[in-house]
Structure 1
Amino acid sequence: MTIKKVSIIGLGALGVLFGNHLSKKMGKEDLRIIADQDRIQRYESNKVYCNNEICEFNYVTPDEACGPADLLIIAVKYNGLKEAIQAVKNHIGKNTIIISLLNGITSEQIIGEIYGMDRLLYCVAQGMDAVKVGNKLTYDHMGMLCFGDKDPSKVSQNAKDLAAFFEKMELPFELDHDMYRRQWGKFMLNVGVNQTVAVYKSNYGEVQREGEARDMMIAAMREVIALSEKEGVHLTEEDLQYWLNVLGKLSPNGKPSMAQDVEAKRFSEVELFAGTVVALGKKYGVATPVNEELYEKIQVIEKQYVVC
């Protein structure tokens, strides 16, 4: 199948980043941004900017009658996933391919329970240092989308079609033949970097240099390595070093999403990171003291929002 029509839900950092790129390569009517009427009015009134450039998006409401998308990109935060799943129903057709840009290791299963696992490709976004403040996104490194089938023994036609589309769109990508392992690796990185930078209220530079914050980050990541053994994924110290190298290439002034949430006094995805790690630790009898500490520290920070 040739991918011609794309729908995106979620205009956080990744939705804006990749939506803006695709908008320059596709016909305006072929790229649809799904949002409710209130959000659309806000986007159109205040505009959405990407590196100081106004994004020219084609907005549609969830109820708007339209043909199905060939590719659906879900780019909301975890706490908006259930609502998003319902909002995209008019964009799902017999041959629609779905990718989720959400952090963590659970969103594909949640989406697949509603729309079928056969249409989902596992995906992670990596290597970008995008920072979104209000309606303005800035970045130095665009990064790439890594995707593939959960089953490492096959490359589906959907994966081949998506690779052909991204190549045509000149969107950086990697077709990974062991995608579930890659997803766990990105989860490991997020558990470390997102939470640590949020707790230290700092930036990537804080954990790129030697010190207390970097030590905490790596310790949190090693707890994920221990859990991956129980899940049959078998991450290693080599995987940890790979992701530290990815981190090392980001702008030191950039910030991960959870740090941006803390700065804006938004509730974070801590349940997706430390919450998942602690729950799996209890399930398998694996100690997770660093993630327990991070979880508690972030909860303390978020409780202060109510006071403020």
Structure 2
Amino acid sequence: MNIRTVSIVGLGALGTMYAKYFSDKLSKDQVRIIASQNRIQKYKKQGIYCNGEPCDFNYVLPESQQEPVDLLIFSVKFNQLQQAMEDARKQVGKNTIIISVLNGISSEEIIGKTFGMEKMLYCVAQGMDAVKLENELNYENMGMLCFGEKDNNVMSEKVTSVAKFFDTIDFPYEIPKDMKHKMWGKFMMNTGVNQTVAVFSTNYGGVQAEGEPRNVMISAMREVIALSQKAGTNLDESDLTYWLKVLSTLNPLGLPSMAQDMEAHRNTEVGLFAGTVIELGKEYHVPTPTNQWLYEKVQEMEKKFV
């Protein structure tokens, strides 16, 4: 299958970054940004800027009648996923391939229940330091998408099709042999970095340097390692070392998504990170005190938004 058309649902930091990249590499009508009428009017009125450049996107209403897209990318917050799936229904056809760049370890199964797991590829976005404030996105490191089936020792037609497409537009990617392991690794990093940076009101630099925030972050990550060994994905200290190296490449002044939400006084995805860790801890009888502390601290901070 040759991928020629792409639809993106969600213009947060990742959605905007990918939409700009694809729109620059392909013709405008090959890349669709699915959004409601109100959002489209807002985007057009305020404009959207990526590293200082104005974005000229091809906006498409959810109800628009068009040919199904070849590749559909979900890039919304977890609490927006149900609406995003409704908005994307008319984009999905028999041969549509779907990837999700949402945080956490559950969005693929949720999307797959609606559109069919046979359309899904597992995906992790890593290594980016994109920060979106209001209508302006800035980043130094685009990172890459790690995608594939659960097991990529033999690549499926879907994986090969996406890889070929990414090759044609020089889009950075990796195909890990074990995607579930990769997803748990990214979940471990998000659980540590996102929550710690938010709670300590710092930035990537605040957890790249030695000190209390970094110690808390690593403690939260080690709780995920303990859970993964019960869940069968078997993270270990080598995974912690790998993701700390990824963290060290990010712009010290950058902010992860939860810290960006805090600055904008939006509810965060703490339930997706510490909330998931705490529930799995109860299920597997694994203590998770650091994530419990982070969860309570984030909730305290969110109460001040009201």
Q: Same fold (TM over 0.5)?
A: yes
Question: What secondary structure sits across from 2:69 in the alignment?
Answer: coil
Q: With structure 1 as the length reference, what TM-score do the two structures score?
A: 0.98
What CA distance in whole angstroms lies between the structure 1 residues aligned with 2:127 and 2:60?
A: 30
Question: 1:87-121 CA deviation, whole Å, 9 max, x = no partner?
Answer: 10000000000000000000001001111111111
Pair 1:10-2:18 in alignment: no
Aligned-residue offset at 1:176: 1.5
Residue pairs, 1:57-68, within 5 angstroms: 57-68=57-68
Match of 1:185 in 2: 185
What CA distance in whole angstroms lies between the structure 2 residues aligned with 1:154 and 1:302?
A: 45
What CA distance in whole angstroms lies between the structure 1 residues aligned with 2:268 and 2:169?
A: 32
Match of 2:122 in 1: 122
Match of 2:249 in 1: 249
Question: 1:8-66 CA deviation, whole Å, 9 max, x = no partner?
Answer: 00000000001100001111111000000000000011111000001110000100111
Aligned-residue offset at 1:72: 0.1
Does the aligned pair in 2 maintain the 1:155–1:177 contact within 8 Å?
no
What CA distance in whole angstroms lies between the structure 1 residues aligned with 2:175 and 2:43?
A: 33
When the two chains are superposed, the root-mean-square deviation of aligned CA atoms in Å is 0.7
Question: What secondary structure sits across from 1:296 in the alignment?
Answer: helix
Aligned-residue offset at 1:152: 4.3
Question: What secondary structure sits across from 1:137 in the alignment?
Answer: strand
Match of 2:95 in 1: 95
Question: 1:185-229 CA deviation, whole Å, 9 max, x = no partner?
Answer: 000000000000000111000000000000000000000000001
Aligned-residue offset at 1:154: 3.2
Residue pairs, 1:285-296, within 5 angstroms: 285-296=285-296
Match of 2:224 in 1: 224
Identity %: 57
What CA distance in whole angstroms lies between the structure 2 residues aligned with 1:106 and 1:152?
A: 19
What CA distance in whole angstroms lies between the structure 2 residues aligned with 1:180 and 1:93?
A: 26
Aligned-residue offset at 1:246: 0.1
What letter corresponds to residue 128 of structure 1 in structure 2?
Answer: M
Does the aligned pair in 2 maintain the 1:201–1:263 contact within 8 Å?
no
Question: What secondary structure sits across from 1:147 in the alignment?
Answer: strand
The answer to which of 148-157 and 43-52 deviates more is 148-157
Q: With structure 2 as the length reference, what TM-score do the two structures score?
A: 0.99
Residue pairs, 1:258-269, within 5 angstroms: 258-269=258-269
Match of 1:166 in 2: 166
Does the aligned pair in 2 maintain the 1:125–1:146 contact within 8 Å?
yes
Question: What secondary structure sits across from 1:305 in the alignment?
Answer: coil
Does the aligned pair in 1 maintain the 2:199–2:298 contact within 8 Å?
yes
What CA distance in whole angstroms lies between the structure 2 residues aligned with 1:152 and 1:229?
A: 21
Match of 1:53 in 2: 53
What CA distance in whole angstroms lies between the structure 2 residues aligned with 1:58 and 1:223?
A: 43
Gaps (5+ residues) in structure 2? none
Segments ≥4 residues shifted beyond 2 Å: 151-154
Question: What secondary structure sits across from 1:93 in the alignment?
Answer: coil
Aligned-residue offset at 1:151: 2.7
